[in-house]
Amino acid sequence: MDISSLLAGYDQKHLTVGVLGGHSALDVAHGAKKYGFGTVCIARKGREKTYEKYFQVKKGRKGARAQTGCIDDTIVVDKFEDVLQQKIQEKLQKMNTIFVHNRYFWVYFPDYKKVEEEFRVPIFGSRHLMMLEERDQPYNQYHLLRDAGIRTPKLYKGAKDIDLGRMVIVKAREAQRRYERGFFMATATDFDERVSAHIASGMISSDAMDDATIEEFVVGAPVNFNFFYSPLTGELELLGTDTRRQTNLDGFLRMTAEDQIWAKQFTSVKMVETGHIAVTVKESLLEKAFELGEKFVAQCKKLPKKFDPTGKGIIGPFALQGAVVTEDGKEDIVIFDVSFRIPGSPGTFATPYTRYLYGEAMSVGERIGMEIKAAVGEGRLEEVVT
């Protein structure tokens, strides 16, 4: 898709930043407002109040803030994929919209190719690399990480391939939310038993193992490294670090070991992501983290045209999610997941890394707003959108 044609007719002095209503929409909208852009949210019917009511832009009361909220306009749709409708696209185009995508674009669209080929609204970031997040692609994030020389967990094709005595984590489709994955632990000896138990409990679907991922369970401290690559400066930035909160795992971890054993009689442990917590890492690990980020950026630029027709590689925010491990007295970072777009953790501004760089804490949404403003000011908007 020719980006020049998408931007043709745009009044770049009056841009609007668009989002799908969920994931990180408020973070993006807040950042856009800070840098002077209008905001529009495509919200799904039944979940629109967050954007249309609670965080809508309103004039402040006398003696209070002049304005509250960060969502200027809300477009309510029956389903998220309705954003591809011609009338909605035309409305977004008239608003001079730059869309900031998130995982919702993949999760809620039955055919992501339509986003790549039919969504005629400029997207901040890459509209093509999102495909690589999915592990069922012939070439996916695992291949990219390994080609970049980044350490990942060992993968197994099936139970018979698992090393004896090795713990694995199985990532399989949930039974109800089929777009999300359920996680459970297993070994070679109890693999089939644990799969059957989780299907029987309704945690994973009956066909979940057809395309499940079986990988070495890395015993370490989980950390998500949230980066930002700027095509304008050619520099990589660490915006923040965080870890996940998961239900009902977090609840189990608050119990004593004795109570955990007792509670497992009545419910199984699940690992459904429900939020994030800001964390920090030792300064001695930062150089290693940046090295991984730089390898990732460089490898994305080497991708063939069939994976990235633009040749631009990664643009803006991305996350390398993994764990810090200790082996033979040395620490290392193992990466087991990638976000090729804004990660859903707006609390990363609570870590100090942007403050060290810019003198003040900055959210991912704010950094996106800053980049779009700089691109417009330098006449280089085409370089940060696809």
Q: Give the total number of structural domains in the chain.
A: 3
Q: Does residue 51 lie within any of the structural domains?
A: yes
Q: Does residue 182 lie within any of the structural domains?
A: yes
Based on the domain organization, do 299 and 317 belong to the same domain?
A: yes
Tell me which of 178 and 288 has the higher pLDDT. Answer: 288
Based on the domain organization, do 66 and 182 belong to the same domain?
A: no
Based on the domain organization, do 243 and 299 belong to the same domain?
A: yes
Q: Does residue 166 lie within any of the structural domains?
A: yes
CB-based contact 71:58 (threshold 8 Å):
no
pLDDT band at 6 (very low <50, low <70, confident <90, very high): very high
Q: What is the pLDDT of residue 205?
A: 87
| Residue 39 CA from chain centroid, whole number | 20
Based on the domain organization, do 96 and 161 belong to the same domain?
A: no
Based on the domain organization, do 191 and 239 belong to the same domain?
A: no
Based on the domain organization, do 198 and 229 belong to the same domain?
A: no
Based on the domain organization, do 272 and 145 belong to the same domain?
A: yes
Weakest-pLDDT range from 121-135, 281-295, 366-380:
121-135
Based on the domain organization, do 235 and 297 belong to the same domain?
A: yes
Tens digits of residue pLDDT in 14-58: 999 999 999 999 999 999 999 999 999 999 999 999 999 999 999
Based on the domain organization, do 300 and 314 belong to the same domain?
A: yes
10 Cβ contact partners less than 8 Å away, ≥ 6 residues apart: 93, 96, 122
Based on the domain organization, do 207 and 227 belong to the same domain?
A: no
Q: Does residue 134 lie within any of the structural domains?
A: no
Q: Does residue 345 lie within any of the structural domains?
A: yes
DSSP string, 128-178: SGGGGGSTTSSS-HHHHHHHTT---PPEESSGGGSPTT--EEEEEEBSSST
Instruction: Give 254's DSSP letter.
Output: T
CATH of the domain at 353: 3.30.470.20
Which amino acid makes up residue 282? Answer: K
Q: Does residue 64 lie within any of the structural domains?
A: yes
Q: Does residue 228 lie within any of the structural domains?
A: yes
pLDDT band at 135 (very low <50, low <70, confident <90, very high): confident
Based on the domain organization, do 326 and 286 belong to the same domain?
A: yes
Q: Which range marks the domain in which residue 347 is found?
A: 141-151+220-358
**Cα 97 from Cα 362, distance rounded (Å):** 23
**Cα–Cα nearest to 95, from 156, 185, 32:** 32
Query: pTM score, two decimals?
Result: 0.91
Q: Does residue 129 lie within any of the structural domains?
A: no
DSSP string, 50-96: IIIIITB-EEPPTTS-SEE-SB-EEEEESSGGGGGSHHHHHHHHHTT
pLDDT band at 81 (very low <50, low <70, confident <90, very high): very high
Q: What is the pLDDT of residue 284?
A: 96
**Cα 228 from Cα 375, distance rounded (Å):** 15
Q: What is the pLDDT of residue 147?
A: 98
Which amino acid makes up residue 58? Answer: K
CATH of the domain at 31: 3.40.50.20
Based on the domain organization, do 249 and 296 belong to the same domain?
A: yes
Strand, coil or helix: 20: strand
Torsional sign, CA 364, 366, 369, 375: negative
